[in-house]
């Protein structure tokens, strides 16, 4: 008989070897006592030592898990160390300039969009200085006398009344009394019963004596600068006078009518004013 057969080792008649009836966890005795005939159960049934095997398997799994965790920690630690070594050498951006001067790609994109918007909304910023000056020149008011007008061109012609209280500036168009007294060219007054024409403020004048011909621009230009004076002239109907205004224009005055006395004296003239 094979004594190593489990059936005999733990059976009811196994004698004194193995978990015999005298020592076991049977119903008739305590653990490892002497109170029964059956080991680890009733009538010789063998209960496997599960706790010992489970402990061995649990220890194996715990060892394998610890090894796996250690491997993962080693891989992660190696990656973090290599990443830190790669980023440790470059100098920080702040060392190259003020922190406020750096911009993110998003800010650069916004700046480009803003610059494009400002450029499209402000077309005047692309205008050249020459264009601005041309615009300002075109908005300037035109002078009374057009520039480049040939000398001797008639600037104004028509009847004109000069009174004792209303001097006339022949350089304005039409001739009126200037608020600046020094700009007026002629006035009238009476001396006893004689009515007088007075050149004022540096105006030169002379009486044209050729009654058969009215003097032209060239005729007056040839005599007024050399023979003209600022002395008063006795007026009479039909009298013709060549004059040079205080602004340098030539004029011709022909007496048409005289009325009034002293403070209400009036002379009516046919006047032609030529450009310089």
Residues 212, 272 contacting (CB under 8 angstroms) = no
More confident residue, 67 or 250: 250
Asked if residue 126 is part of any domain, the answer here is no
Domain hosting 235: range is: 154-274
Asked if residue 92 is part of any domain, the answer here is no
Asked if residue 100 is part of any domain, the answer here is no
Number of domains in the chain: 1
- Reduce the DSSP state of residue 128 to 3 states and report it: coil
Q: Is the pTM of this model over 0.85?
A: no
Confidence tier at 138 by pLDDT (50, 70, 90)? low
Q: 81-117, pLDDT tens digit by residue?
A: 666 655 555 455 554 544 444 445 444 445 545 544 4
Asked if residue 91 is part of any domain, the answer here is no
Helices (H), the chain: 6-9, 50-88, 105-121, 129-139, 217-227
Asked if residue 51 is part of any domain, the answer here is no
Residue 217: name the closest of 184, 251, 262, 187 by CA: 251
Residues 156, 271 contacting (CB under 8 angstroms) = yes
The pLDDT of 2-9, averaged and rounded, is: 45
| Pairwise CA distance, residues 150 & 138, whole Å | 23
């Amino acid at each position: 008989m094979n004594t190593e057969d489990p059936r005999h080792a733990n059976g009811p008649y196994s004698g004194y070897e193995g978990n015999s009836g005298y020592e076991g966890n049977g119903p008739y005795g305590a653990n490892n006592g002497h109170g029964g005939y059956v080991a680890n159960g009733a009538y010789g049934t063998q209960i496997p030592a599960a706790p010992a095997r489970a402990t061995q398997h649990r220890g194996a799994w715990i060892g394998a898990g610890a090894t796996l965790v250690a491997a993962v920690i080693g891989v992660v630690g190696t990656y973090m160390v290599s990443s830190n070594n790669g980023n440790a050498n470059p100098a920080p951006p702040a060392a190259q300039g003020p922190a406020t001067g750096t911009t993110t790609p998003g800010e650069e994109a916004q700046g480009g969009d803003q610059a494009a918007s400002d450029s499209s909304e402000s077309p005047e910023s692309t205008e050249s200085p020459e264009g601005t000056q041309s615009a300002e020149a075109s908005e300037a008011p035109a002078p009374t006398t057009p520039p480049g007008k040939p000398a001797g061109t008639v600037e104004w012609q028509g009847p004109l009344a000069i009174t004792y209280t209303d001097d006339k500036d022949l350089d304005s168009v039409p001739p009126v009394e200037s608020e600046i007294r020094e700009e007026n060219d002629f006035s009238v007054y009476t001396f006893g019963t004689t009515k007088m024409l007075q050149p004022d403020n540096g105006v030169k004048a002379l009486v044209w004596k050729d009654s058969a011909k009215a003097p032209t621009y060239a005729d007056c230009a040839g005599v007024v600068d050399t023979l003209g004076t600022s002395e008063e002239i006795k007026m009479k109907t039909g009298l013709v006078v060549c004059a040079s205004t205080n602004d340098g224009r030539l004029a011709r005055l022909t007496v048409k009518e005289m009325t009034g006395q002293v403070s209400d004296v009036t002379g009516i003239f046919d006047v032609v004013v030529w450009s310089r």
